[in-house]
Amino acid sequence: MALKEKLGKLEFIQKGLKKDLVLEDDFSQIRMVGGADVSYAGGLAYSAVVVLDYGDMQLIEEETSKSKITFPYVPSFLSFREAPPITKSVSRLKRKPNVLLVDGHGIAHPR
């Protein structure tokens, strides 16, 4: 499938996700927070995730992963490039955070 056609389908997915947007939190108690990011080198994606105790910000757990890049860099479609490696690292966690922070457009996304 050509990239332009694929992006059209992914844009449709992005617009569909908008209906699930929640602007108010409903967290009763946050005990653990996590942060994740990805860097790239030589055709590979390196992902890392950390989990911290929310009370004292002490490290609870960290995981990393290395993956082959499967999606090109395309502005406003970065989640389709970064989600697979982040998901791989998060899936390795023994203790999942109540909240996971990732960089992204958030509600400022054009779609």
Q: Contact at 8 Å (CB) between 84 and 70?
A: yes
| Per-chain mean pLDDT for the chain | 91
Mean local confidence (pLDDT), 34-55: 97
What's the domain count of the chain?
1
pTM, entire model: 0.85
Tokens (6 digits) for 48: 């890392």
- Torsion 87-35-104-43 (CA) sign: negative
Indicate whether 82 belongs to any domain: yes
Domain range for 65 is 30-101
Q: What is the pLDDT of residue 110?
A: 65
Q: Contact at 8 Å (CB) between 61 and 93?
A: yes
Query: What whole-number percentage of the chain has pLDDT above 70?
Result: 94
Write the DSSP symbol of residue 105.
-
Q: What is the pLDDT of residue 20?
A: 86
Indicate whether 14 belongs to any domain: no
Q: Is the pLDDT of residue 59 over 90?
A: yes
Indicate whether 8 belongs to any domain: no
Indicate whether 25 belongs to any domain: no
Q: Is the pLDDT of residue 104 over 80?
A: no
